[in-house]
Amino acid sequence: MAATSLLPKSIPYFLTNPHSLPSTTTTTSKLSFLNPPHDQPQCCTKRPNLQTVHLKKKRNPWLDPFDDGIDPDLEYGTLFTDGKQDEDPRPPDNPDNPYGFLKFPKAFNVEIAGLALKVRGDVRRCCCMVAGGVYENLLFFPTIQLIKDRYPGVQVDVVASPRGKQTYEMNKNVRWADAYDLDDDFPEPRVYTDFVGILKNRYYDMVLSTKLAGIGHASFIFMTSAEHKASYVYPNVNSVGAGLFLSETFTAETTNLSDGGYHMYNQMVDWLGKPFRSLTRQPLPPLKYSLSKKIKEVVEAKYRNAGAERGKYVVIHGIESDSQASMQSRGDTDSLLPLRLWAKIAKGIRDLTPVFVIPHERERENVEDIVGYDASIVFITTPAQLAALINDSAGLIATNTAAIQLATAREKPSIGLFCSEEKAKIFVPDAEEKRCTIIASKTGKLIDIDVEAVKNAIKFVNVSLALV
């Protein structure tokens, strides 16, 4: 009877132990410095308070309920204890092997994890699973650059949708980009198992995912056998069980991560750039991209055939269409204007040629009927070609598509048309510094935007733009 009576008492004590329960206030604790209580001292609102949160945060308590976090009295010695990792000291790559250096035949080489992986947390190979289309993958570029800065010599691979994969044509930091539909809740078994094998055979040290994970996607990440597995999870009951398979979770504020706009990955960025011993916080670099010479030549031939010259045309992007090549954001579905409104804007432009970007060839006839048969039309479906077209232009007039981000990254004069002021502040912060003029609808619907206000704004974008 004595042994039987102790069991029910020990279970509630274990469950009520604060060190054994998973924290459900991670997001609140991270962002508490933004809105401190009135009675809180001012010194507590400084940035180091965020560092304390990260240092005290332990691993997933469901994996080890007796893990109290980092032992402050633990002595590591002097090997791999501080600073950033060095470049990979392995022998040079074998040019005859697509997978690099291979000293022994496959399946005969013993895989040994480096000591620095355990002591300092080095990352030699990182896989980023980015959900969404072109817009979401483009906004992930600063995060990739942060990973390259934080872990020198790291090899970054990306898994994205077929449409999102096109974005990495402009990113030199990515080694391989694989097309896999992360948003498919019921993938074919042969495709699913084959891709798990591909990721597992690459021996990643870190796997990051921006798809909101439940137990299904979390187990998919777990099967890659990476040391560090981090992902966003649902903010509701759908996230139950996901933490069992992940070493770090980020709870999204809504079920649509794209609602966060330009800083939609702020929680993951905050974790990746956290201070570590003598290393200070790694800052997030701005959005940058690169264009190859071949792409520039192809795009130049396109706009010259349309009757435009370099530096003497204005790009118009955001024509209403059901094509996925419109490059909208999932966080702003009301971001395309009917062609009749674009025709009114284009009629007021003088001294420069308005170039209409169409996402599908079937839109060409509509542009010719409404704007005129002498209209300059360019058919572009990839973000790299769109970026090259904007780079050679005098400016851009666009709705909230990937074009507005491409223009602000190169500080091209641009006018952004948004359905509301709130959306504009979320997706284009610090618009004035990026030479972007914001025009927002007063009714909350993009179709009700003031065309005259757009025409007046063009006068102040660039001295080379003029309206009647």
337 and 256, same domain (yes or no):
no
Question: Residue 319: beta bridge partners?
Answer: 337
Region 110-134: mean pLDDT is: 82
127 and 258, same domain (yes or no):
yes
Region 84-106: mean pLDDT is: 63
* Beta-sheet pairing, 466-467 with 349-350: antiparallel
188 belongs to a structural domain = yes
298 and 432, same domain (yes or no):
yes
For residues 462 and 396, the model is more confident at 396
pLDDT tens for 136-172 read 999 999 999 999 999 998 999 999 999 999 999 999 9
Q: Which range has the worst mean pLDDT, 18-22, 335-339, 354-358, 364-368?
A: 18-22
Region 244-271: mean pLDDT is: 95
302 and 336, same domain (yes or no):
yes
Using the 8-state DSSP alphabet, how is residue 135 labeled? H
350 and 440, same domain (yes or no):
yes
Contact 114, 122 (CB under 8 A): yes
Q: What is the DSSP string of 79-111?
A: TT-SSPPPPP-SPPP-TT-TT---SS-TTTSPP
User: What's the pLDDT score for residue 285?
Assistant: 95
Res. 6 pLDDT band, cuts 50 70 90: very low
Region 9-20: mean pLDDT is: 40
Last residue of some domain: 273, 303, 328? 273
Q: How many domains does the chain have?
A: 2
Res. 291 pLDDT band, cuts 50 70 90: very high
- What residues contact residue 82 under an 8 Å CB cut-off, 6+ apart? 120, 277, 278, 279
User: What's the pLDDT score for residue 59?
Assistant: 58
Q: How far is CA 297 from CA 83, 276, 395, 419, in A?
A: 43, 45, 19, 35
Q: What is the mean pLDDT of the chain?
A: 83
Amino acid code (one letter) for 387:
A
Last residue of some domain: 208, 239, 273? 273
pLDDT tens for 295-330 read 999 999 999 999 999 999 999 999 999 998 999 999
372 and 448, same domain (yes or no):
yes
137 and 221, same domain (yes or no):
yes
CA 243 to CA 39: how far, in whole Å? 35
379 belongs to a structural domain = yes
10 belongs to a structural domain = no
Determine the structural domain holding residue 381 and report its residue range: 293-466
pLDDT tens for 35-49 read 444 444 444 444 444
CA 407 to CA 461: how far, in whole Å? 13
263 and 403, same domain (yes or no):
no
320 and 412, same domain (yes or no):
yes
Question: Residue 396: beta bridge partners?
Answer: 315, 414
Last residue of some domain: 273, 307, 327? 273
CATH number at residue 207: 3.40.50.2000
260 and 132, same domain (yes or no):
yes
Residue 435 backbone phi and psi in degrees, to 5: 60, 40
User: What's the pLDDT score for residue 62?
Assistant: 60
364 belongs to a structural domain = yes
Q: How far is CA 335 from CA 20, 65, 190, 302, in A?
A: 46, 47, 37, 26
Contact 423, 327 (CB under 8 A): no
